[in-house]
């Protein structure tokens, strides 16, 4: 079974353009990203774990889509592994392609309003519930477009109504 064609990104972001990249075309890594909202309309940001590129930068949680997985399956697995929560429905929202010096990633961003469990940071990361504008720093460059889109679309009530 072949995977469906990847959706066209809503935006392509080149991060740290002055830093070198491997020559030639680089594979695109598909990543499932979850924007989790709590009952108060705040959204969850976590830090990148120690030892990973951009460690300590704040981002929305998620991870790589494995072969044979859908974005929702990957998001469900990653959020259980990373932060110990079980999600209900994942509502596809936007796609961002980010070209980092170390990797080219296609972020499949989903909004999640229904989840359960206590947050457990299994990879040594920190977490913070945020509203716009965010108060944590530094923010991962690939997260800024998502925050901008959230601001353009309005608050969590608008997001849930459009999910």
Q: Is residue 5 one of the residues assigned to a domain?
A: no
CATH code for the domain in which residue 52 is found? 3.90.79.10
pLDDT at 7 over 80: yes
The total of structural domains in the chain comes to 1
Cα separation, 97 vs 36, whole angstroms: 20
What per-residue confidence (pLDDT) applies to 3?
46
Q: Is residue 2 one of the residues assigned to a domain?
A: no
Q: Is residue 4 one of the residues assigned to a domain?
A: no
Q: Is residue 131 one of the residues assigned to a domain?
A: yes
Structural domain for 50, as ranges: 11-161
Q: Is residue 112 one of the residues assigned to a domain?
A: yes
Q: Is residue 3 one of the residues assigned to a domain?
A: no
pLDDT in tens, 55-95: 999 999 999 999 999 999 999 999 999 999 999 999 999 99
What burial letters (b/e) apply to 93-121, b meaning 16+ CB within 10 Å? bbbbbbbbeebbbbbbbbbbbebeeebee
pLDDT in tens, 121-161: 999 999 999 999 999 999 999 999 999 999 999 866 566 66
């Amino acid at each position: 079974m072949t995977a469906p064609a990847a959706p066209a990104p809503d935006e392509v972001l080149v991060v740290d353009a002055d830093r070198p990249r491997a020559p030639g075309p680089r594979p695109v890594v598909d990543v499932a990203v979850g924007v989790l909202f709590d009952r108060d309309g705040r959204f969850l940001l976590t830090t990148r774990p120690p030892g990973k590129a951009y460690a300590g930068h704040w981002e929305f949680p998620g991870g790589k889509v494995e072969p044979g997985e859908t974005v929702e399956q990957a998001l469900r697995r990653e959020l259980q592994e990373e932060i110990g929560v079980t999600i209900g429905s994942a509502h596809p929202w936007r796609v961002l392609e980010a070209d980092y010096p170390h990797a080219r990633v296609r972020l499949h961003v989903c909004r999640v309003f229904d989840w359960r469990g206590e947050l457990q940071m299994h990879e040594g990361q920190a977490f913070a519930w945020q509203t716009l504008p965010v108060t944590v720093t530094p923010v991962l460059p690939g997260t800024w477009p998502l925050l901008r889109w959230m601001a353009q679309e309005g608050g969590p009530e608008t997001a849930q109504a459009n999910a």
